[in-house]
């Protein structure tokens, strides 16, 4: 049976906001049929522009009127998108991947924890806002190298205003930094003794996710309650 090729929709860049040292958060105007296909937080899609193609996590939750994507200047379609003016048209593939299995999580009342590193923050963010929409909160550890590398400071504060505990964890803290240091999984396990009744979401480097999964299970987390977006 031949492979089924995805259908691409025309989408317009309608808003951009600089975030971090080399990234922007782009907002796209899309067709309602594309929005209807966005069913799970943590999904991603392919974007084509100027003969280039790349895959990008959807930074907004399902149901958002206009999806958002965090784009860093990594060449190819990323650079083409960052250099395009407002109103530029991109070819947007369908939402792809299973995303986070939040239905099972929302059916239980155990404590929720989340880990993100670097641009993985934006892969996790859609799930956090989906939790907020469902009336849940979580304790979140967001890892970055140093203060200039921290992403989405406004969004983090908005989550705190909704009852989330969002903790920054810097791996290269400057002198005088009084917050959390080192790796996010270490910060979590320094502060949470047991995870027998908890759930843990993660997004970021595979090494972080592998280490977090292994150590969390040692602390009592059920393996099926460690959630990633793929």
CA dist 125 and 156 (Å) reads 9
User: pLDDT tens, 150-188?
Assistant: 999 999 999 999 999 999 999 999 999 999 999 999 999
Taking the C-alpha atoms of residue 165 and residue 187, their distance in angstroms, rounded to an integer, is 13
Q: Is 105 exposed, middle or buried (0-12, 13-18, 19+ CB in 10 A)?
A: buried
Task: Write down the pTM of the prediction.
Answer: 0.93
Domains of the chain, first to last = 9-92 (2.40.30.10), 102-227 (3.40.50.80)
User: What pLDDT is stored for residue 42 in this prediction?
Assistant: 96
- Asked if the model's pLDDT at residue 5 lies above 90, the reply is no
Supply the pLDDT for residue 1: 41
């Amino acid at each position: 049976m031949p492979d089924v090729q995805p259908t691409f929709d025309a989408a317009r860049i309608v808003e951009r906001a600089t975030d971090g040292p080399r990234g922007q958060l782009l907002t796209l105007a899309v067709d309602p049929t594309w929005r209807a296909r966005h069913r799970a937080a943590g999904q991603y899609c392919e974007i084509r522009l100027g003969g280039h193609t790349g895959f990008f996590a959807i930074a907004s939750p399902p149901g958002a009127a206009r999806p958002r994507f965090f784009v860093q200047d990594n060449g190819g379609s990323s650079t083409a998108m960052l250099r395009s003016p407002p109103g530029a048209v991109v070819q947007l593939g369908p939402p792809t991947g299973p995303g986070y299995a939040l239905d099972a999580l929302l059916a239980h009342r155990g404590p929720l924890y989340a880990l993100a590193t670097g641009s993985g923050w934006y892969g996790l963010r859609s799930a956090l806002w989906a939790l907020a929409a469902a009336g849940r909160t979580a304790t979140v550890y967001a890892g970055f190298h140093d203060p200039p590398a921290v992403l989405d400071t406004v969004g983090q504060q908005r989550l705190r205003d909704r009852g989330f505990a969002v903790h920054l964890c810097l791996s290269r803290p400057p002198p005088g930094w009084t917050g959390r240091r080192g790796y996010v999984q270490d910060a979590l396990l320094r502060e949470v003794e047991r995870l027998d009744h908890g759930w843990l979401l993660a997004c970021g480097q595979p090494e972080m996710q592998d280490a977090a999964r292994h150590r969390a299970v040692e602390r009592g987390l059920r393996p099926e309650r460690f959630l990633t977006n793929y």
